[in-house]
Amino acid sequence: MLRALKVGLLIERTNRKNLVAILAVIVVMLGMMFFIKAQEVGQQLDEKKSDFYNGRAALSKFQVKDASEDGDGSDLFKNLTKQNRSIALQIAALTMDNYPMYYEASMHTAELRKEAFAMEDYDKVANLLPTKLENELNYIYFKHLVDSEKQEISDLSQYIPFLLYFFSIAGFGWYIFISFYTSSILLDDFEHTSLMKGYPVRFDQYILSKCIIAFGYVLAFIALIFISALPTLRNGFGDLSEPVRIFLGEPAIVSSISYIGRAVLYMIVISVFVMLLSIILNVLLKNMYLTLFIHFILFFLPILFPRLISMLPFNPFNFMSFNDILSGLPVDLEKSTLITMNQGLLIMIICIVIMLFVIQRFFSTGKIKRA
């Protein structure tokens, strides 16, 4: 076993795939830094202006009426008018860098929207406003900021906020990256049967050595994410306790470091899941492109056909884009589905155990013909 690991490491050191993967991580991280700066990502003033225009569009669906308390406008019309005034106050507060006022106005807007959900004709404007879950997440987030008397706003050019932004969108790309990386995990060795026969270990032990080596590289890729983000330290470290709104079966607030830790855990488990699936597909299909095709079909089906999430809520591929689950996206589907990443972790771990059993039970006994 140790000899297999030693030989495998020597082979992987000269494998161009690893160098390409390392360069890809560095390029993505540096590219994201430039993208955030060039596109001014995270500028809440622009987001609030968009909210204001959406509010104006919602009001345009009603005939012009008196929105005062004693006026003849409907309750919803009056509520939407108050929302727009509150959003205008948010814009003014951001313009003046008065962040406590901004947080209070944002919380008030969420309260008004919560009242609007139960009002008559709300369905006419529902597509222009946040969903119930999005609004609840916003409410608890801004309430937390108000209660903690926070005086500043997060800056994505700093180290922790930058990492938080990366890990808040990494779920989709991570599965694709690991699929590419592991799609030929055994195929190079299959092309050299003399090398395969030279391993003085059982085939399942050989596969275990490949998994250990690949897993080591995965950990190196994750470490490289943190290292590549170091240039942002020149703008400051950021706040480890910065609150983040997530869905854990119900709306919740966690710290930035907690969210980053969760994301890293999910990425590690997803990597092991994809790695073992690639091994099984390599043995069965003996083709990198077919392996990738199966990976992408299984990954994109729930994304392209969201109804599949409602039909098969515990399909492990529902949880691969973990940021969507943490934002509560399945709850807002046409057929609301309550699934969480805690369930996803359990399901993926069960699948990992099953795949390990399949590899140990069949791949070491010759029941599946190998190249």
Q: Is the dihedral of CA 198, 203, 206, 207 positive or negative?
A: positive
Partners of 255 in the β-ladder:
243
Q: What is the CA radius of gyration of the chain?
A: 25
CB 52 within 8 A of CB 88: yes
Q: pTM (2 decimals)? A: 0.89
Q: Same domain, yes or no, for 132 and 275?
A: no
194 in a domain, yes or no?
Answer: yes
Last residue of a domain, one of 112, 147, 182: 147
If you ran DSSP here, which 8-state letter would residue 306 be given? T
Are residues 49 and 36 part of one domain?
A: no
Cβ contact 113:130 at 8 Å: yes
pLDDT tops 70 at residue 277: yes
314 and 327 in contact (C-beta within 8 Å)? Answer: no
Shared-domain flag, residues 179 and 269: yes
Residue 253 belongs to what H/E stretch? strand 251-255
**Residue 141 belongs to what domain range?**
44-147
State how far the Cα of 214 lies from the Cα of 206, in Å rounded to an integer. 12
In a domain, 19, yes or no: yes
Residue 370 is assigned to a structural domain of this protein: no
Question: Residue 136 falls within a domain, yes or no?
Answer: yes
The answer to whether the beta carbons of residues 154 and 161 sit under 8 Å apart is: yes
Confidence bin at 368 (pLDDT 50/70/90): very low
The mean per-residue pLDDT over the stretch 214-222 comes to: 94
Q: What angle do CA 38, 43, 46 make, to 5 degrees?
A: 105
Q: Express each pLDDT in 322-355 by its tens digit.
A: 999 999 988 888 788 889 999 999 999 999 999 9
Same domain membership, residue 244 and residue 168:
yes
Q: Is the separation of the CB atoms in 266 and 171 below 8 Å? A: yes
Indicate if 137 and 165 belong to the same structural domain: no
The last residue of one of the domains, among 147, 169, 190, is 147
Would you tell me how many other CB atoms lie within 10 Å of the CB of residue 330?
23
Is residue 301 domain-resident?
Answer: yes
Task: Give the DSSP per-residue string, 117-168.
Answer: TTSTTGGGTGGGS--HHHHHHHHHHHHHHHHTT--S---TTSHHHHHHHHHH
Say if CB 61 and CB 67 are below 8 A apart: no
What average pLDDT does the segment 196-217 reach?
Answer: 74
Q: Which of 172, 334, 142 is nearest to 251 (CA)?
A: 142
- Give the domain-ending residue among 147, 181, 205: 147
- Burial code (b: 16+ CB inside 10 Å, e: under 16) for 159-191 equals bbbbbbbbbbebbeebbbbbbbbbbbbbbebee
H-helix segments, the chain: 2-13, 16-39, 44-59, 75-95, 99-116, 132-147, 159-182, 187-190, 193-198, 203-228, 256-285, 288-304, 307-311, 322-326, 341-362
d(CA 225, CA 229): 6
Give residue 113's pLDDT band: very low, low, confident or very high (50, 70, 90).
very high
pLDDT for position 367: 43
pLDDT at 10: 65
Same domain assignment for residues 130 and 251: no
58 and 206 assigned to the same domain: no
Residues 32 and 111 in one domain: no
For residue 368, is it within any domain?
no
| 342 and 289 part of one domain | yes
Q: How many domains does the chain have?
A: 2
Q: What average pLDDT does range 6-19 have in this prediction?
A: 73
State yes or no: pLDDT of 264 exceeds 70. yes
Contacts for 32 with CB less than 8 Å, ≥ 6 apart: 162, 165, 166
- Residue 241 belongs to a domain: yes
Whether residue 8 is found in the same domain as residue 109: no
Residues 269 and 351 in one domain: yes
**48 and 33 part of one domain:** no
Residue 292 inside a domain? The answer is yes
